[in-house]
Each structure stands twice: as C-alpha cells, then as structure tokens.
Amino acid sequence: MAVAGGAGGEPFPAVDKCDVDASCRRAGRRAVVVVSDLDGTLLRSRSAFPYYALFAFEAGGAPRLALLLLLAPVAWLLRRAAASESAAVRVLVFAATAGARVSDVESAARAVLPRFYAADVHPAAWRVFAACGGGGGRGRRLVVTATPRVMAEPFLRDYLGVDAVAGTELAAWRGRATGMVDARRGVLVGERKAEAVREMVGDGEMPDIGLGGRRSDYAFMSLCKEAYIVPRDPVEAVPADKLPRPVIFHDGRLVQRPTPHAALLAVAWFPVGFLLACVCIAAGALLPMPWLRRAFGALGVRVVVRGAPSPPPPSAGGRGGVLFASNHRTLLDAVFLSVALGRPVATITYSVSRLSEVLSPIRTVRLARDRATDAATIRGMLDDGDLAICPEGTTCREPYLLRFSALFAELTDDIVPVATECRTSMFHGTTARGCKAMDPFYFFMNPFPEYTVTFLDKLPAELTCGGGGGKSSHDVANHVQKLIASTLSYECLHSLLQEQYKFIGIKGECLHIT
C-alpha cells in the first residue's frame, strides 16, 4: 500500500485528511470496512491507566488501587525505556485483575466503564469511524486493541455499534482472573494486531480504512487500503448526544476519572475518609435528631434546606401523618429529610442491608413485595405518623427521574413532594453491584459532601385521588414526578431508563410497586 507521509515524519497522513465519501466511492457497492485502535485513536487518552484504575478499585478497593499505583511507574519504564508496550500492559493487567472474579470483571465492564469511555471519544476518529458502518449494509466497524477485550468490548459493541473487537485475552482459573495474559495470542501489539485484523477481515481481504495513533499500530495499518494517524493534539470529546446510544446509568464508586493524580488522592484520603464516615454515622445513630444538622455541619457535611417543612403531626386526635414523596438519590434520602425536619420520619425499604437498618437513626420497615400486604403496611405507618417514600424505585446519579410508582397516591391525600439532591466529589454513595452496606459510608467519606432537601407545597385536594378532583393514582404520581423534576431541572424518563436498567441487570432498592 502506498501512502503519503504525514506531518512530523509520520508514514501516514493525519485523520483530518480522510475523505470518507471518496473512500466509499472507491469501494463501489461493497461495504466499507474500517478498523481502528482504541487508546489514543478512537479514544482521546493515550493512556489506559484510568480504565485499569477503575477495574482495580471495583475489584479490590483502595488496596488494589494502591498496588496499581505502585506498579504503574514500572509499566511506564517498560514502555519508555525498554520500548516494550507488551510488558507494560502485562504489568497493568496483573495489578488490576489478579485474583478478581471473572464475573466481577465482566460486570464492571458493562456497568462502570461505559460512562468514562463515552466521555473520551475522539471527534476526528469518530467522524471517520461512524461514517463507515452502523448497519444497513453500509460497512463494518472493527476495533483492535492491546486493552483486554473484556474491558472494552461491552462499550464498543453496545454504545458505538462496533461489529467485532479483538483485544488482549485474560487468563482465568476456576472463575478467577490469574492476572496473566492468555499465552495463545499474548498482548495485541505490533504484528499481533495485524494477525488479529487478518482474522477479523478474513478471505485475504484488506480493510478499506485503518486508524491508528502510535508506532505499534503501523503493522495493522499497513494492511489497509488507506490508513490515517490520529494526532496527539488535545481536542474536546464527542458530545454524549452525538453517540449512537446514550449512557444514562453507570455504576462504580469513583466520581472522578481516575487519572494517576486523582487515584493517588483517593488512596491517600481513603483511611481518613473512612474514619470520618464512622464518626458521622455514629453521630447519626447516637445524637437526637434536632442536633444532627449542626453535628453534620461540624463534621463537614452540609445540609441545605429549602422550602417550608411540614409541621409535626398532633400528639393526639390527629388524622395520621403526612406522606413525603421524594426522588431517590441515595439510601440516605429519608435520613436527610428527617435531619431537615429536625425530627425522625419513618421510611420503607425492601432491599437495604441489615447493617444499615441497625445504624439507621430513623425507623425502617421492610416491604413484602406483595401489593395488598405492602399497602396495609404503609397505611399502618401513616396512622402512626409521618412517612417518607421514594416512589422512584431505584437510585439514579444522572439528572433524570425514573417512573414513580402510583401506590403511594392511592393510600393518602396528605402528600408533600420533596426534591432531594446530593453532591459528592470523590466517591458515589450508591452502588448496584457492590456491598450495599457500604453505601452510607462511601457518601460520608467524601470531603465536604452536601445534601439539599427542598420541601414543595402540599398537594391541593383537587390534585389528589380522594379530594374531589377525580384524579387517578397514576395522574397524581406523574404530577408529583414532574413537580420534583421541574424543581431540580431534571428530565423525566420512563421506558428509556427502564430499558437501561434491564440491560445491565439492575434492580431497585426502594418502593417499586406498579
């Protein structure tokens, strides 16, 4: 293949020179095949360290992330001084995956990595890559990478529409990753990438367009009819709404992209943050509720209260309590609602850990997942006093609200919508894959976390089921959802978010009865 030299002495031209329409015309009626590297090509970042760091933390927490940080300089020296990209990848793979369950590795790749990958797509490479495929017989999109295939494939196939992925294969024994690389193929660099491309294309065919970003890509790029280098110049990532499928939900504990600096900061802060979290949780369990707002403030936890909280119910002769219907951000929603009110408000759950129940400063009652039984339970709790419910069904970190269950609207007309919002800078206080008992700890482990509780006006009688307005329970639930979404400037999602949860196998943790 003859190619014109690129800028800076590169043997291939820059990707900006690629005329996709001309390439399609040269291919004639045959579908165009494009093959691309991942790091530094389809992704802006040339270092895969942040993605190995995500794996390390999900697989073994701070100790494994610390191990990765210790071995990362070794990997850097092997890549730079010894010019061995293969050895560098082996070191990172060992630190991030050794001893981890293969099922956990696969789960993290589906639920954690896509959010970070999606924020790192290179615009110039994506322009070419997207134009050459996407179904309908228009072409095939192939990716070949030194990154372990199990890490990259879920995002590439499910969110970028890639047809085939060739990557480094992990060795496993009895369901656990050994930390080694499968010896049959080894690490996909240099000629091994070229061999993988030949296998994917098959029948002696040549890919039409090749995209690479470093010297180890030249071998497979030379197999292509046209090949282009993605420059190192800093660029803005492709906007999320320009990708084929949005990444709405993501799991994992780390808030920030774990660059070496951010990962080192998280490891250094972890013991301090855990001690601080223990103090905060002990304060919540031992101190009277009216004192907690000041106590949390002294410990660095800011509680912002907006709106006019409902007054406490009468001590005797009342009609029962008020139902606070809140969106669901973390397992601490009802706790901080109680802190904002200055009095404990009971809540209902059906998937909270025993440890969380023991340490909770408010009363928690488990549901039975039977509609009639649960309705009777909620009515009984309302007869005893105020009740906090999260009808969203599960937590969501994005600026969206999931469909609200309508059951709460059938059981009372005394409904106060509550908009809750939490801000964290280092760790997420929610998880769908990990240990649920650690959720409150991770929230309080953040430096200066913040919870905002906004009390909206109580629903007027004409907007309730039994107040003479003739509203159905679904109408009331949808109205409450829209009120909260408007207050938070969130978007109401129904089928799209439900589909996303189903796709990654996430189940709700609070009330979710249709």
In this structure, the strands spanning 450-455 and 415-423 are antiparallel
- How many CB atoms sit inside 10 A of residue 190's CB? 17
Chunked into runs of 10 residues, the chain (514 residues) has average pLDDT values of: 52 88 66 91 94 92 96 92 86 95 91 94 94 66 95 94 94 94 91 93 85 92 93 92 84 93 97 97 95 96 90 56 93 95 90 82 85 88 92 83 88 93 94 84 96 94 80 91 94 59 40 34
Tokens at 261, concatenated: 């600096």
Long-range Cβ pairs for the range 59-66 (8 Å, 24+): 59/96, 59/97, 59/99, 59/100, 59/104, 59/105, 59/108, 60/99, 60/100, 62/266, 62/267, 62/270, 64/95, 64/96, 65/258, 65/263, 65/266, 65/267, 66/267
pLDDT of the residue at 30? 62
Residue 504 has what pLDDT?
A: 40
Q: For residue 363, give every residue at least 6 positions away whose Cβ sits within 8 Å of its Cβ, in sequence order, or none.
A: 344, 346, 347
Distances (CA, A) of 440 to 192, 427, 450, 483: 46, 11, 13, 27
pTM above 0.85, yes or no: yes
Q: How many CA atoms lie less than 13 Å away from 378 in the CB half-sphere? A: 28
- Pick the closest to residue 328 from 274, 273, 271, 402 (CA basis): 402
Q: Burial code of 30-41, b = ≥16 C-beta within 10 A, e = fewer?
A: eebbbbbbbbbb
The token pair at 513 is: 């009865």
DSSP 255: -
DSSP string, 181-207: EPTTT-S--THHHHHHHHHHH-TT---
* Beta strand segments in 157-316, E: 164-168, 170-173, 176-181, 209-212, 226-229, 302-306
Q: How many CB atoms lie within 10 A of CB 453?
A: 24
| Domain range 267-504, its CATH number among 1.10.1660, 1.10.3470, 3.40.1130, 3.30.1760 | 3.40.1130
The whole-number pLDDT of residue 511 equals 37
User: What DSSP designation does 457 have?
Assistant: P
**DSSP secondary structure code for residue 239 in this structure:** P
Q: Is the dihedral of CA 422, 428, 434, 436 positive or negative?
A: negative
15-235 and 267-504, same CATH topology = no
Distance CA 449, CA 1 (A): 57
**What residues does each domain of the chain span?**
15-235, 267-504
- Would you tell me the crossing angle of helices 20-27 and 123-131 to the nearest 10 degrees? 30
For 15-235, CATH gives: 3.40.50.1000
CA 258, distance to chain mean position in Å, is 13
Distance CA 458, CA 481 (A): 14
Q: Which of 337, 311, 314, 294 is nearest to 484 (CA)?
A: 337
Burial of 191 (0-12, 13-18, 19+ CB in 10 A): exposed
Is 197 in contact with 220 (CB distance < 8 Å)?
Answer: yes
pLDDT at position 353 = 77
> Within 13 Å and on the Cβ side, how many CA atoms surround 108?
27
pLDDT at 81: 72
